[in-house]
Amino acid sequence: MFQGSLSLLLKIPNHPMRTLLVLVILRRHWRWKVKGLWQESHAIQRLLLHS
């Protein structure tokens, strides 16, 4: 999904809107990544507590 939106952006001629879209997509992607990492570490902590 992320790759597809990136290739779509590359087809848009270079103008401020493209930069804005890149920032929005990267921010959204970054937030997902952080949320995933947080959930993973939370699960690991729970495993360590129960072992």
In angstroms, the Cα distances linking 32 to 25, 29, 35, 39 are: 11, 5, 5, 11
Q: Which amino acid is at 51?
A: S
Q: What pLDDT does 33 receive?
A: 80
Q: What is the pLDDT of residues 1-51, one digit of tens each?
A: 456 666 766 676 667 777 887 788 888 877 778 888 888 888 888 888 876
| Claim: this prediction has a pTM higher than 0.75 | no
- Check: CB of residue 18 under 8 Å from CB of residue 12: yes
For 47, the token pair is 């495993």
Q: What pLDDT does 1 receive?
A: 47
For 50, the token pair is 């129960």
